[in-house]
């Protein structure tokens, strides 16, 4: 067999496919040819399938019209659909127990952000125990993809996305740029603004 000039048990780069198949014991794939069944007259006309599809649609329509109270419809915006507790909504910046900002302007969230929508300017913290704080912290929601990587990257639980806020509408682009003052007050009712993380 052509290309077969190596000792038993060793495959060499120049071995051709036929040799490899023979050497490895793999059988060549066999192709089974299937005959195509010709369409019947009714299949060719498509009418039975059209009638079947329409009857399914009409039966669903009638079922829902007759049992409106069971329709899974929410009268938005008066009714909102419940969302999971861990839904990633608008961001908020957490506080320390003394009401100062938890963020230490380490930039990890801005570095992790794939949309580059976090802007931070660090300043010296008057508290000698904390090196820095953000004098500027903005999030551009128009670029944000709500991936949550900023929250994952933060080493001190300074940013969360658990506000459950998902209705975002505005009249100008500026309204979607959340500044530090907004983020530090963006705490949902019933949830503490304070994080006691180390
Ligand atoms: S959720 Fe994702 S895209 Fe939005 S600010 Fe955080 S890291 Fe950036
Ligand atoms: S929010 Fe967290 S990760 Fe981002 S700069 Fe502040 S401390 Fe660092």
**pLDDT of 4-17, one tens digit each?**
454 554 444 444 45
**pLDDT of 61-82, one tens digit each?**
998 888 877 877 888 889 888 8
For the CA of 148, the nearest atom of ligand 1: 1
How far is the C-alpha of 46 from the C-alpha of 49, rounded, in Å? 6
Atom 6 in ligand 2: which residue has the minimum CA distance?
103
Q: Output the CA 92–ligand 2 centroid distance in Å.
A: 12
The answer to whether residues 118 and 145 touch, using CB atoms and an 8 Å cutoff, is: no
Task: Kindly provide the b/e burial profile for residues 137-152, where b requires at least 16 CB atoms within 10 angstroms of the residue's own CB.
Answer: bbbbbeebeeeebbbe
Domains and CATH numbers, the chain: 1-73 (no CATH), 92-185 (3.30.70.3270)
For the CA of 143, the nearest atom of ligand 1: 3
Examine the pLDDT at 167 and tell me if it is beyond 50: yes
User: Residue 82 phi/psi, 5° resolution?
Assistant: -60, 140
pTM of the model: 0.68
| Average pLDDT over every residue of 158-179 | 94
pLDDT over 70 percentage in the chain: 86
Atom 4 in ligand 2: which residue has the minimum CA distance?
109
- Determine if ligand 2 sits within 6 Å of the CB of residue 104: yes
Arithmetic mean of pLDDT over the chain: 87
Separation in Å, CA 12 to CA 5, 17, 19, 21, 158:
9, 11, 11, 13, 58
How far is the C-alpha of 196 from the C-alpha of 103, rounded, in Å? 12
At residue 27, the pLDDT reads 65
């Amino acid at each position: 067999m052509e290309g077969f000039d190596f000792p038993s048990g060793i495959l060499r780069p120049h071995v051709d496919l036929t040799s490899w198949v023979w050497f490895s014991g793999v059988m060549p794939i066999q192709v089974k040819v299937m005959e195509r069944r010709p369409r019947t007259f009714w299949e060719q006309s498509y009418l039975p399938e059209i009638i079947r599809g329409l009857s399914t649609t009409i039966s669903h329509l009638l079922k829902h019209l007759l049992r409106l109270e069971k329709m899974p419809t929410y009268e938005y915006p008066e009714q909102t659909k419940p969302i999971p507790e861990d839904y990633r909504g608008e961001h908020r910046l957490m506080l320390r127990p003394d009401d100062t900002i938890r963020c230490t302007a380490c930039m990890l969230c801005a570095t992790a952000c794939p949309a580059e929508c976090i802007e931070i300017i660090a300043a010296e913290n008057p508290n000698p125990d904390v090196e820095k704080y953000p004098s500027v912290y903005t999030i551009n929601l128009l670029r944000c993809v709500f991936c949550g990587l900023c929250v994952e990257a933060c080493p001190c639980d300074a940013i969360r996305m658990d506000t459950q806020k998902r209705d975002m509408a505005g009249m100008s682009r500026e309204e979607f740029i959340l500044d530090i003052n907004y983020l530090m007050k963006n705490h949902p009712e019933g949830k503490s603004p304070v994080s006691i993380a180390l």
